[in-house]
Amino acid sequence: MKTFLIIGLLSFSALFGKLYASEGTQRQPRQSQEEREAFRQRVQAERVAFFTERLTLTPAEAEQFWALFNTFQRERDRLNAEIRRRTHVRQAEGERRVFDVSNLSDAEVQQLVDNRARVIDLERQFHNDLTELLSPRQVLAFYEAERVFQRELVNARNRGDQQRQGGRGGRGQR
């Protein structure tokens, strides 16, 4: 069982590494909307396969689960994008956006706090809907699968960044 799990995780890591390595321009500022959408669709296909396997969903459960999850994800992404749009500013051309609320009024800050509360309410409602649809074991498996999937996505992105930069980052170098 442990061997199967290790082989599965290694395969999953290799798959995401290949996915990100093939996206050599993924984090460049001039990437087109079509390229971003194609990448999002590939990640979503990976997510569907990964979660469906981890949750052992029947076809009927999978249909209901993905309808619920996709609705939740769209709304959560919309709220989080609004928060990021208002709180993150670019320091210089080509650099990452950094958190900055110094130029916001108190009313704008309150609106952002309210948006964050809406995200929490949305997550609570999603959890309640999830517990009505899936068994407790499947609900826990969902949260674990979500954590692992996100971790692998970040790791693959970091590996892709290192490859585009011509080698390894700061870790491991002496």
pLDDT digits (tens, 9 = 90+) for 44-60: 999 998 998 899 998 99
What is the residue-averaged pLDDT of the chain?
A: 78
At residue 35, the pLDDT reads 86
Is residue 50 domain-shared with residue 9, that is, in the same domain? yes
Confidence of residue 160 (pLDDT cuts 50, 70, 90): confident
**Domain residue limits at 94:** 58-133
Output 12 or 42, whichever has higher pLDDT.
42
Locate tokens 């590494």: which residue? 17
Confidence of residue 5 (pLDDT cuts 50, 70, 90): very low
Residue type, 78: R
Residues 83 and 110 sit within 8 Å (Cβ to Cβ): no
Please check the confidence at residue 145 and state whether its pLDDT lies above 50.
yes
Of 66, 47, 71, 50, the closest CA to residue 134 belongs to 66
Is residue 104 domain-shared with residue 127, that is, in the same domain? yes
Of 84, 89, 71, 68, the closest CA to residue 138 belongs to 68
Is residue 125 domain-shared with residue 150, that is, in the same domain? no
Of 133, 27, 155, the closest CA to residue 71 belongs to 133
Of 53, 59, 66, 72, the closest CA to residue 5 belongs to 53
Please check the confidence at residue 174 and state whether its pLDDT lies above 50.
no
Query: Does residue 141 lie in a domain region?
Result: no
Query: Does residue 35 lie in a domain region?
Result: yes
pTM: 0.66
Is residue 5 domain-shared with residue 44, that is, in the same domain? yes
Residues 139 and 61 sit within 8 Å (Cβ to Cβ): no
At residue 16, the pLDDT reads 44
107 phi, psi to nearest 5 deg:
-65, -40
What span, in angstroms and rounded, lies between the C-alpha atoms of 68 and 122?
Answer: 12
Is residue 44 domain-shared with residue 88, that is, in the same domain? no
Query: Does residue 140 lie in a domain region?
Result: no
Is residue 64 domain-shared with residue 89, that is, in the same domain? yes
Is residue 47 domain-shared with residue 66, that is, in the same domain? no
What span, in angstroms and rounded, lies between the C-alpha atoms of 83 and 102?
Answer: 14
Locate tokens 């390595």: which residue? 21
Is residue 62 domain-shared with residue 129, that is, in the same domain? yes
Output 97 or 65, whichever has higher pLDDT.
65
Is residue 74 domain-shared with residue 105, that is, in the same domain? yes
Please check the confidence at residue 112 and state whether its pLDDT lies above 60.
yes
Is residue 36 domain-shared with residue 68, that is, in the same domain? no
Percent of the chain surpassing pLDDT 90:
36
Is residue 17 domain-shared with residue 51, that is, in the same domain? yes
At residue 124, the pLDDT reads 97
Please check the confidence at residue 79 and state whether its pLDDT lies above 50.
yes
